Chain A
Amino acid sequence: MSTHSEELNSEPTHHEHHVVGPKVYLVIFGTLLMFTAITVAASYMELYVFNAIVALAIACIKAVLVILFFMHIKYSSRLTKLTVAAGFFTFFVLITMTMTDYISRAWGLW
């Protein structure tokens, strides 16, 4: 029986269950509201090409906070972390390959 549980412990799916408490949730909650205020304020400033970049960067930070803490990925097993990473990597491929195509269609014709 002991070898059996040792086997389980060494698997990448194994992790000690971690309860995330209200303090962490409150801090993340406040941070998310703060970033919402910042992104609205930044959208009224004339930053030219950086308006979209700032808005999307803040959205990415907010999404990462939600994933890490509200969705407990910071405290998850390696398998779950890899799964989430694979999902966003595939999404990244979708966007970059599509945009690469559209940007290069008329390459040199302008």
Chain B
Amino acid sequence: MIATPPAHVQEHSTHEHPAHLRHHFASVEQQRESASFGMWLFLLTEIMFFGGMFAAYLIYRNWYYPAFVVGSHQLSIFLGTFNTAVLICSSFTMAMGVYSAEMKRRKALIGWLLATIFLGLVFLGVKADEYHEKWEKHHVPGLNFSTQDFTHPTDKEPPLPADMAAKTQVYFSLYFAMTGMHALHMVIGISILVILVVQAWAGAYTQGHMTTIENFGLYWHFVDIVWIFLFPLLYLISRHQ
């Protein structure tokens, strides 16, 4: 008793297509387009997720303006700029990774992905150092906070009245929420990158099918864009005062 092969197996005898083309897609191009579309829909939810925090930041900055000014002066502009450059470099290495996959160069792809991991780790290391400094200066709302630096400043900052000095906690809460969520995205991104390197090692993305690399690239660049806005809002816009 010989069972009739399923329709899609029968079809294989009549047409040829790349092994990675799923049968519910008409062409490789359509499959690629669908994957990219789906990834962008996910990124739209991410835009709204970070957008809510950006909106909160704008409103509270208008309400407690003096507290936000002195709060932002506590951040190191050098470390912020350094980390911005590191992230832009990592976006470049990721873009080159996508290009290498496109060109089917396995070693180059692995190299660029490893460079991206390295730069991501440098960013997180600098961020951890900044967080540690906040802890030592008692600038962590809810856990370790003192308004001493703002009511009785030791530098050239104007002293704030006690009620406004207390509002610096709003600034630091938003600072930790926004950079923390951004850092979490980096941690997730680096974890996925490690998996991608292992799979790329086995030649998974250099045989024509590289949707995973492309979509991960979109994610990594998105995280870069979030930082492109966090950097001026948290570090820069009150620097001149």
Contacts and interface: CB of A to CB of B under 8 A. Distances in A.
Interface of A: 4, 8, 13-15, 17, 19-22, 25-26, 28-29, 32-33, 36, 39-40, 43-47, 51-52, 55-56, 58-59, 62-63, 66-67, 69-71, 76-77, 79-80, 83-84, 86-88, 90-91, 94-95, 98-99, 102
Given A21-B99, A94-B52, A99-B59, 6 more contacts: A20-B95, A36-B84, A43-B236, A45-B240, A63-B229, A80-B37
A87 B37 CA distance: 12
B177 interface: no
B33 interface: yes
A33 B88 contact: yes
B180 interface: no
Contact of B51 (A4, A83, A94): A94
B221 interface: yes
Contacts of A25: 92, 95-96, 99
A74 B88 CA distance: 19
B237 A52 contact: yes
B77 interface: yes
Contacts of B81: 36, 40
B41 A83 contact: yes
Contacts of B59: 98-99, 102
Contacts of B41: 83
B126 interface: no
Given A71-B217, A79-B33, A29 B88 contact: yes
